[in-house]
Amino acid sequence: MKLIIAIVQDEDASRLVTSLMKEGFGVTKLATTGGFLRAGNTTLLVGVDDEKLNAVMDIIEHVCKSRKQIASAPTNMHGMNNMYTSYPVEVTVGGATVFVLNVEQFVKL
């Protein structure tokens, strides 16, 4: 058995949960916050038998597409302490960060 931990952008989370549940996979959804853009994201926990791992990974890959987005990057104003301004920077968002862990024991009470 495997535990899939998928960290996805909030924008993709609802579609991913719907797609996984439609295919019969149970999902636990956790609201989390990313460190780089300090934007909301969602962490999904999915427990699957080994032979169903590829099916879940295919769904995640299909739903969670990466895309470009403009974000504000803070910069210190030259010569002025504690004064910051921001400028736009293009970053890639979306996609998914996925961890797959072996599960030694699973108990449902």
Domain positions in the chain are 2-66+94-102
Residue 41: the pLDDT is 86
% of residues, the chain, pLDDT over 70: 73
Give the model's pLDDT for residue 81: 61
CATH of domain 2-66+94-102: 3.30.70.120
Q: Is 69 helix (H, G, I), strand (E, B) or coil?
A: strand
Tell me what pLDDT residue 59 has: 97
CA distance 10 to 33: 10
Mean pLDDT of 2-18: 93
For the whole model, what pTM was predicted? Answer: 0.75
Residue 8 has what pLDDT? 92
Give the Cα separation of 41 and 7 in Å (integer). Answer: 7
Q: What is the pLDDT of residues 23-73, one digit of tens each?
A: 999 999 998 877 655 667 899 999 999 999 999 999 999 999 877 777 666
Cα separation, 82 vs 106, whole angstroms: 51
In this structure, are residues 91 and 71 in contact, taking their beta carbons and an 8 Å threshold? yes
Calculate the average pLDDT of the chain: 84
